[in-house]
Amino acid sequence: PLARAAAAVFVALALHQIGGRVLVHLTAAPLAAGEAALTAALLGLLRDDVMVAGNAIATEGHLLYVISDCLSLNLVMQGLLCCFAVARAFRPVWRWSELWSWALLICVMVAFNLVRLALVGWGPGLFNLLHEGPGRTLVELTGLALQLAIAGWAVRREMWGARR
């Protein structure tokens, strides 16, 4: 079972690297427009000067384009790989119950990314703070921490059982 689990993680990583890029490329335009619309709706709760056209969000004096690198799909794919790898480390055999953690991960990553986009769409100051340098690193580490927390939650029984 351990060799199969390791092979499964390797295959998942390969699919993530190859298939994930193809999936992002094929779905970028409609997903970017959809995420721009959702971000504009979220941002519109805080501001009343928000307009959206395709993948562009405009506020007074600030224009934000949602591009393929900004999509929630990137975080979702990374998170699914994280959950899968952590689960195989603690539980070599796959279980249907993992689908619940995947569903939770998808919801959390989409919400996290929409909040991030809304914050960088607020104005140039927050854009520069959260999109460059240490702010970007902090945002990326926060996303990874959320992914690891969900992955740990999914295997909590195996982790706690292993300590006894």
pLDDT tens across 11-53, in order? 888 888 888 889 999 999 999 999 999 999 999 888 888 999 9
pLDDT given at position 162: 54
pLDDT given at position 153: 93
Contact 119, 126 (CB under 8 A): yes
Q: What is the mean pLDDT of residues 83-110?
A: 92
- Strand order across the 51-53 sheet: 51-53, 56-59, 62-65
Nearest to 29, CA basis, from 55, 52, 51? 55
Give percent above pLDDT 90 in the chain: 66
pTM to 2 decimal places: 0.88
